[in-house]
Amino acid sequence: MKKISLCVFASLLMLAVIPAHLIGKNEVDPVIIEATAPSEAEQIGILNARLIEIQELDRSGMTRQERRALRVEVRAIKGELKSYGDGIYLSVGALILVIVLLILLL
């Protein structure tokens, strides 16, 4: 019974993920969109340059409010840089699940 339900579940899962090219194509004219915002690489470069600029500032002549504003700006920049991320993070459970699914489907 378990094996039959597993096979039925696997077949339904495969049917649910039908590739888009098998469904049929809708003829749509391609639209070219010009990017006005900088790309992620350019944005990261700009933020890193600003961080280096802030580090090189002489903060000894600044008031407490100016130093605090710089600290807030540095934290915001670092948070924005973290949001760009460098990859996909998988937990151990998700990795095991992916491996088991690959073994079952292949």
Query: What gap in Å lies between CA 78 and CA 70, rounded to an integer?
Result: 12
Q: What is the mean pLDDT of the chain?
A: 80
Q: Is the pLDDT of residue 50 over 80?
A: yes
What pLDDT score was predicted for residue 94? 83
Task: Indicate the domain borders of the chain.
Answer: 39-85
Pick the more confident residue, 25 or 101: 101
Residue for token pair 């961080």: 51
Tokens 């090219």 found at: 21
Q: Over the stretch 4-22, which tens digit does the pLDDT of each residue have?
A: 888 888 877 776 666 555 6
Interatomic CA distance for residues 65 and 84, integer angstroms: 29
